[in-house]
Amino acid sequence: MNSQDRSDHPGRTPAGKCAGSRIRVLLSAVLASAVLSVPFVTAAEPPSDDGDPALAKLPFQRGTTKDSLGRTITYYLSRPSGNDSDAKRPVVLLILGSGAQSVFSQRGEMVFGSHQNPLQQQAKGRARVLITEKPGVKFLDARTRPGSAEGASEEFLKEHTLERWAEANAAALRVVWELPGIDPKRTMVIGHSEGAIVAARVAAELPQVTHVASLSGGGPTQLFDLADFQRQPRPDDKPGDADRRAQKFYEEWAKILQDPDSTTKFWLSHPYRRWSSFLKHTVTEELLRGKAKIYLVQGVLDTSVSVKSFDVLLADLKTRGRDVTSERIEGADHGFRTQEMPQGSPEGMKAVFGRLLAWFFKE
């Protein structure tokens, strides 16, 4: 936000002097309150390679900004197209799933991007792709178990809540909108897995977001998915076993509620603080708070998010008259890989990105 000098004008008659003074005091208080309620935006310095030779080889550049919580947020923005680098392009923000790993990884001397790379390839210069590093995670940080918070920094364990992670992404968007070469009139936010609820929240908090996509994100609280998978029949089940497994999850949730801010007590590879934040909210409620057009994608064979959650989400949004486009992909897993694709293949996700971008530019 650009600050602006404001000068109070004195009352023009002696009789109105005291009343004018009181009005000026009240007006100053209102203006101060309004300024404090507006998120802080730092000067929009263009992202760069930051003197990092590893980054110089990637199709992304690094930038930093301050969010409304006073934290330094690191983001990566795809480089402008070489053909028309001066043209204004809309932004597509991608928010990935769980874990304290960086959005970039290294194998030997090679540095690789996550899903932002195929998204950038599918954009074909029509949009600038934005991705944010989680607070407490540094460039190329890796986890023994990707998707886990085990062994993460203390900063990450404290900072990784739904509210604070959403604000980090919102701050990246706010500063990028101020950059030359960016068209702020159209913006899409895409969230995959855990990132889906974060994307929905960002879209709800920032009215400038015009399109939002939830990929493998569920609808009700994630506790529903966890319990539902425990109820799935197993070959050696005895009567009541499935319900007992589900009940254990609800008992663990009760423990989390007794110490919701703990960063030392873990459940399913994440601290209580993370669970208490994310499970109290739903993708459904966050999408309903926003006004953006919605795209939903779910693999029927997903073993992380129940397809039932997707069905509930779609039905809830439709009953509220929301503008929703949806895909229910038969034979696809959490990352939209089908059995015909090699293990770890990005082709399913890449194809989804292609359809998402076609929808974004058509709408």
What's the chain's average pLDDT?
88
In a domain, 246, yes or no: no
CATH code assigned at 353:
3.40.50.1820
- Amino acid symbol at 252: E
- Together in a domain, 293 and 355: yes
Residue 272 domain flag: no
Q: Which two tokens stand for residue 215?
A: 């990929």
Same-domain check for residues 132 and 29:
no
Instruction: Give the pLDDT band (50/70/90) at residue 187.
Output: very high
Confidence of residue 30 (pLDDT cuts 50, 70, 90): very low
Residue 10 scores a pLDDT above 50: no
**Full residue range of the structural domain in which residue 23 is found:** 1-38
pLDDT tens digits along 43-86: 567 898 878 888 888 999 999 999 999 999 999 999 997 666 67
CA distance 96 to 133: 10
Shared domain for 203 and 178, answered yes or no, is: yes
User: CB of 200 within 8 A of CB of 185?
Assistant: no
- In this prediction, residue 79 carries a pLDDT of 94
- In total, how many domains does the chain have? 2
Segment 96-129, tens digit of pLDDT? 999 999 999 999 889 999 999 999 999 999 999 9
For residue 363, what pLDDT is reported? 67
What is the side-by-side strand order in the sheet with 211-215?
Answer: 60-66, 72-78, 128-132, 89-95, 182-192, 211-215, 293-299, 324-329
Residues 146, 101 contacting (CB under 8 angstroms): yes
Query: Over the stretch 123-172, which tens digit does the pLDDT of each residue have?
Result: 999 999 999 999 999 999 999 899 999 999 999 999 999 999 999 999 99
Cα separation, 182 vs 40, in Å, equals 19
Q: Do 67 and 181 belong together in one domain?
A: yes
End-to-end CA distance of the chain: 29
107 in the same domain as 59: yes
3-state helix, strand, coil in the chain (%, to 5): 40, 20, 45
Whether residue 155 contacts residue 135, with contact meaning beta carbons closer than 8 Å, is answered with yes
The reported pTM is: 0.87
Helices assigned H by DSSP within 98-235: 116-123, 154-159, 162-176, 194-205, 222-230
> Are residues 92 and 196 both part of a single domain?
yes
